[in-house]
Amino acid sequence: METKHLVFVYGTLRKDERNHFILNGAKCIGNRAWTKGYLYDTHLGYPVLQENEEGTVYGEIYEVSAAQLEKLNDLEGYYGEGENNYYERKIQVIHTDTQEYEALLYYKPNAKSSMFKELIDSGDWITFLANKRK
């Protein structure tokens, strides 16, 4: 049986966003999910999640194959623990209305704060984009 991984996505990998195609065939475990952290717009067309116990970031949870996880790693510039990664990856508690999960997520360490251009107060990339278009 193939190994599956749970992944929390909060930006361009979400449903109807430009990189969601990487998740084609993945099982959506929760389309209304959230976790701790702050969400920032990078002003580069995608957000970053900053580790923090105070804020809330909204997104979706998917069950992905090992091959899809490799594609996600490529997209996020994640080469492995201790490497010169663009994004770091870790397991974090993710909540839905009915359950808690432990899922992988990609984030920016606080040391890379130059990426944190604009705090997304809602913690939701989709809401942020919708409000920008108004």
Per-residue pLDDT of the chain (134 residues; tens, 9 = 90+): 678 999 999 999 999 999 999 999 999 999 999 999 999 999 999 999 999 899 999 999 999 999 999 999 999 999 999 899 999 999 999 999 999 999 999 998 865 677 788 999 999 999 999 988 77
pLDDT value at residue 111: 57
- Looking at residue 133, its pLDDT comes to 78
User: pLDDT at position 112, please?
Assistant: 62
Give the CA diameter of the chain: 47
Q: Walk across the sheet containing 118-119 and list its strands.
A: 47-50, 38-41, 118-119
The arrangement of secondary structure in 4-133, i.e. its CATH architecture, is Roll (3.10)
Q: What pLDDT score does 62 carry?
A: 98
Q: 115 and 107 in contact (C-beta within 8 Å)? A: no
User: What are the residue boundaries of the structural domains of the chain, listed by start?
Assistant: 4-133
Among 51, 53, 76, 100, which one carries the catalytic annotation?
Answer: 76
Q: What pLDDT score was predicted for residue 132? A: 82
In this prediction, residue 39 carries a pLDDT of 96
Angstrom distance (rounded) from CA 119 to CA 108: 14
Could you give the CA distance from residue 10 to residue 8 in angstroms, rounded to a whole number? 7
| Residue 28, strand partner residues | 62
Distance CA 48, CA 35 (A): 13
70 has catalytic annotation: no
User: For the chain, where are the E strands, in sequence order?
Assistant: 4-9, 27-36, 38-41, 47-50, 56-65, 88-95, 100-107, 118-119
